[in-house]
Amino acid sequence: MQNLLLCQVSDIPEDEAFQAIVPGHDAFAVYKLGEEIFVIQDACTHAGASLSLEGQQDGHKVICGWHENTFDLRTGEALSGPCPTPVRTYPVRIENGSVFIET
């Protein structure tokens, strides 16, 4: 396991996605709901659309903008849509205002 710095908490808008780009890694979709921060893979498991750039957050769910596959931000579970494959989720750690994940 590797701890990876993604961004600052202040970079993440409330109820909107933030796309974190880290050299050598695929993009990450970062979400803030109140005091909670969730990180998932940024590519929809159906057709690869960016969930952070083309998806829409609805509470603890994100809806893919291409074919409306819906995922739970807490578990990655596919809740509806054409693809039952979940997205990968990452454990989040906040330290001094920085967002880290384990990869």
Longest dimension (CA), the chain: 40
Check residue 1 and give its pLDDT: 72
Domains of the chain, residue spans: 3-102
Ordered strands of the 17-20 beta sheet: 17-20, 28-33, 36-41, 89-90
Give the pLDDT confidence of 50-64 residue by residue, as tens digits.
999 999 999 999 999
Instruction: Report the DSSP beta bridge partners of residue 41.
Output: 28
Instruction: Report the DSSP beta bridge partners of residue 81.
Output: none
Rounded-to-integer distance, Cα 39 and Cα 77, Å:
13
Average pLDDT, the chain: 95
- Global confidence as pTM: 0.95
CATH fit for domain 3-102, picks 3.40.50.300, 1.10.287.610, 2.102.10.10, 3.40.640.10:
2.102.10.10
How confident is residue 29, by pLDDT bands cut at 50, 70 and 90? very high
Check residue 41 and give its pLDDT: 98
